[in-house]
Amino acid sequence: MPEKDLTLPDDIQDVVERALAEDIGDGDRNAALVDETLQASARVVVRENAILSGAPWFERSFKALDERVQIEWLSNDGERIRSNTTVCEIRGPVRALLTGERTALNFLQLLSGVATSTFEFVERVKGTNTQIIDTRKTLPGLRSAQRYAVRCGGGMNHRFGLFDAILIKENHIMAAGSIETAVSRARDSAAGQFVQVEIETLEELEQALEAGCDGVLLDNLASHVLARAVNMADAHRRRFRRDIVIEASGDINLRNVREIADTGVDRISIGGLTKHLRATDFSMRMHTD
């Protein structure tokens, strides 16, 4: 497995500020009940086995409220954490801890949930050369954060958006008139960008390969058909001495992902990593000094 790329996105501060504004509005009426000079300590405990992700978002949620908040992490993003263990200890003004608690935990539980789900898929395909990758099916405004969480779980990222790679889908082919025309126009309009074609039949695969695409997305094909598609793409690779990325997608779950990986596909894209969310259970317990 390649080393995890835990490079942080550059929009963390903006995302955190929007989340805090959503929760606080024109003021935290609850925290106002507490003496503003009071200091407190807290610890965050995970209630189930998981992969940790979201520490930078968690930390900035408190720092945006009060720079005096100090956090000591006992585990790092991308690491496995065990149920009922402490992941971090916090100290600072009690008002900041109370106000930031929900927003901070929301980030931690969401991103750890994504990382944990990704890890489960990655474990199922261990021993193959297949990568588990995400899709654009993300929560609006949280794409960069969720992509980071996928990497924490050992997965890889697909294109970020509509601007950094081209995926020619059924509707694009219909509008262009053919796979060949769609690929040709993609080359003309976005020279140098990765061009991938979504196909649903072996006939379409042959057309995509002949059109000279960089990759194919095999959508909802049975495993025996996927194996034939891989053989066709491999033959094309040898014949023209050029690489073709073979990706499978559609109705993929923990029960069938290994079978699909064993067909020899290069990568498997799973929208459920970022849209079928199950948050990891964390709790924060506070005590005053």
Q: How many CB atoms lie within 10 A of CB 104?
A: 31
**Position 32 pLDDT exceeds 90:** no
Taking only the tens place, the pLDDT of each residue in 121-130 is 999 999 999 9
Per residue in 20-31, pLDDT (tens digit) is 999 999 999 998
- pLDDT of the residue at 36: 87
Mean pLDDT of 139-151: 98
Active site residues: 102, 137, 169, 198, 219
Amino acid at 41: S
User: What confidence category does residue 219 fall into, taking pLDDT thresholds of 50, 70 and 90?
Assistant: very high
pTM of the full predicted structure? 0.95
Q: Give the residue with greater pLDDT, 238 vs 268.
A: 268
Angle ∠(82,279,97) on CA atoms, nearest 5: 80
Burial class (CB in 10 A: 0-12, 13-18, 19+), 128: middle
> How do residues 168-207 score in pLDDT, each as one tens digit?
999 999 999 999 999 999 999 988 899 999 999 999 999 9
Positions of E strands within the chain:
39-46, 50-51, 70-73, 80-81, 85-93, 131-133, 166-168, 195-199, 215-219, 245-249, 267-269, 282-288
On average, the pLDDT of the chain sits at 95
213 DSSP assignment: -
Domains of the chain, residue spans: 12-122+277-288, 127-275
Q: How far is CA 137 from CA 68, 124, 132, in A?
A: 37, 22, 15
How far is 222 from 250, CA to CA, in rounded Å?
10
Q: In what order do the strands lie in the sheet with 70-73?
A: 70-73, 85-93, 39-46, 282-288
pLDDT for 56: 98
Q: What CA–CA distance (Å, rounded) separates 169 from 32?
A: 53
Angle at 222 between CA 2 and CA 166, to 5 degrees: 55
Structure tokens at 16: 């955190």
Q: Can you spell out the DSSP letters for 146-174? A: HHHHHHHTT-B---SSSSSSEEE-HHHHH
Report the DSSP pairing between strands 70-73 and 85-93: antiparallel
Q: What mean pLDDT do residues 224-250 have?
A: 93
Q: Which CATH number fits domain 12-122+277-288: 1.10.540.10, 3.90.1170.20, 3.60.9.10, 3.40.50.510?
A: 3.90.1170.20
**Paired sense of beta strands 245-249 and 267-269, if any:** parallel
* Position 1 pLDDT exceeds 80: no
Q: What is the CATH number of domain 127-275?
A: 3.20.20.70
